Chains A and B, each alone.
Chain A
Amino acid sequence: MKFNDALIGAALFILAVAIGVHIRGFPEMPGQKFGAALFPGLIAAGLLVCGTMLFVRGVRSGDRLVVLVPWMRMPQQVANFVLVCALLLFYIFASDALGFIPSGFIILMALFLKLAVPPLRATVVAIIATLVIHALFYKLLRVPLPWGVLQGVAW
């Protein structure tokens, strides 16, 4: 997805103004002229200038606001992209309750099958890879990966 410079410029402009308003609430350092707001203020000023330049450039170019790159017109490819993000969200919300091993297995299986790995091979690799990564991090590096539903049979 390619955005017109004008769109990004406008967004940066709004962001800069928002920062400018927000940092007015930052307290001053007692006895100092230069407080917590100075540096973000300079960043905001820079964003304001760049945002304006991009906006002007984008408007002059007359390009479309959003141009879809080829893969974004292919439902399968878009689904792949969304799936990866969704699986990460799934891990964030489900791993504590479900445990690392079931969540890891689900993530691998879902992606393997979507990327056309044959089912039998997908299952075998998903089981082995999950267990190897678990052994490496949980046993060797002592990362407290959650057991979740497997708590009863934890090894």
Chain B
Amino acid sequence: MADVMTAFGLVFQPYVLLVIMASAAFGLFVGAVPGLTATMATALLVPVTFFMPPVPAIASIVTATAMAIFSGDIPGALMRIPGTPASAAYTDESYAMTRKGQAETVLGADLVFSVIGGIFGTIVLVAAAPSLAEVALKFSSFEYFWLVLLGLSSAVFITTGDPVKGIVSLLMGLLIASIGLDNPAGYPRFTFGSIELLGSIGLIPMMIGMFAVSEILRFVAEPQDKAEMFQTQIGNVFKGMWGLFKKYPVQTLRGSVLGTAIGALPGAGADIAAWMSYAMSKKFSKEPEKFGTGHVEGIVEAGAANNSALAGAWIPALVFGIPGDSITAIVIGVLYIKGMNPGPMIFINNPENIYAIFIVFFLANVLMIPLGWMAIKAAKRILDVPRNILMPVILLFCIVGAFAINNDLFAITVMLVFGVVAYFMEENGYPVAPAILGVILGQMLEENFISSMIKADGNLLGFFSRPIAAGLGALTVTIWLWPLLSRLMRGRPASPA
């Protein structure tokens, strides 16, 4: 209890509250501008949070991402362009509602059900993380090995359309992770005599490259669609929301539960949660024929799902150090920099910081109601900011941000290389998320693999010798065999003509 009080003290300070408000404004802006994503907001925040104490640093990321996932809905409803990929699932539906003269209802539903989903996800995070951490305390290298492999496998098989490309992306990530001195043998691998590569490739410059520079490249290279903003007066967005909640309680709950679960699954984040929820909503709806014509039901469900996914992603990130989405992938890097190494011990060593993160999650979601309302009111101004001015300024910000981590120009080279690589990966259908997870988890996977091999004396059956490890192992193997099994069950596929 004393820790909870300390945590309140850590959050309710003028400096921290100021950081939260500024991050909220930043997040709302970034989310609402098409082409800028919540992950990009996080990557851009890291260099700034680098110089803050742990609680405000984490608070700024939590707040900015929650706001961005909501405000990504605004241009979806008004311009038929999703502000972030997490809104893409129901952009057409939202715009159809606006055209039917229901702009207030759709924006209100976006806001209110984002808040409900966000709070639901937070409650699950608060309830699940500490108890999971207690279980995790008993884990040995066998359990951790399987857990990491399970996370990586789900990123490859569940979240990507083409498993082979997903595996390639993952393997490249693992390969990058093995560069440098940080391996069980302490031998400099793949450094080719370069001093910069000894310490392996900097995670933060790499992320800024993959999530920010690649988007800038996309913006300048691909001809932009001219999108007109739908001219409409927006009145009271909260009108009729209680009615919607009473009409769709099951949808709200289902979206929040599925969103939290997808968020907790490594590699899949808010965008996949929204797509799956929207599809599920349509499947179970009593009026599926209305979907696509400007029907609010799917927006309620998917809008709750993408915000609940944000909090869900923090569960494996905090408890095991395994990121649930690309945002927490960056967060884990920040936690290490701040000396709050993720893992079950964080709940024993820094309970007050963990509680502070929980409090910030609640605070951010509650603050979303007034601030989100203001963002809707200011939507026209935000969407009028010319992107041909914004993108170059962001590029300069990226340069300084990458440099600031180590005061090192090599970081800018890393940023450039990974920006170009990420751009071409996506263009060729190679998902970026498995690569990121591979880079982050490579060292953990190798360490636990090698020490398990040593303990089991090279006998792979040893990896199944403990009950939880055996369960996790069986699950992992099932996921790997799944494409094969489902093919066998369906009979042989027709040979391509």
Contact = CB atoms under 8 A, between A and B. Distances in A.
A and B interact: yes
B221 A116 contact: no
B474 interface: no
Contacts of B48: 136, 141
B223 A133 contact: no
Contacts of A87: 395
B51 A142 contact: yes
Contacts of B216: 84
Interface string A78-106: 10110111011101100110001000100
B397 interface: yes
Interface string A45-71: 011001101100100100000000111
How many A residues are at the interface, by size bracket? Answer: 35 or more
A26 B175 contact: no
A54 to B, nearest CB: 6
B393 A12 contact: no
Contacts of A125: 389, 393
B187 A36 contact: yes
Interface string B25-67: 0000000000000000000000110110000000000000000
Interface stretch (B97-105, B113-121, B274-282, B409-417): B409-417
B412 A107 contact: no
Query: Chain A: interface secondary structure?
Result: helix
Interface of B: 47-48, 50-51, 164-165, 167-168, 171, 174-175, 178, 183-185, 187, 189-190, 213, 216-217, 220-223, 386, 388-389, 391-393, 395-397, 399-400, 403-404, 407, 409, 412-413, 415-416, 420, 424, 427-428, 446, 449-450, 453-454, 458, 496
A143 B388 contact: no
B453 A144 contact: no
Contacts of B389: 112, 117, 121, 125
Contacts of A133: 393, 396-397, 400
Contacts, number: 159
Q: Which 4 A-B pairs have the closest CB atoms?
A: A111-B392, A80-B220, A36-B185, A115-B388
A154 interface: no
Contacts of A36: 183-185, 187, 189
Interface of A: 1-3, 8, 12, 19, 22-23, 26-27, 29, 32-36, 38-40, 43, 46-47, 50-51, 53-54, 57, 60, 69-71, 74, 77-78, 80-81, 83-85, 87-89, 91-92, 95-96, 100, 104, 107-108, 111-112, 115-117, 121, 125, 129-130, 133, 136-137, 141-145
B400 A145 contact: yes
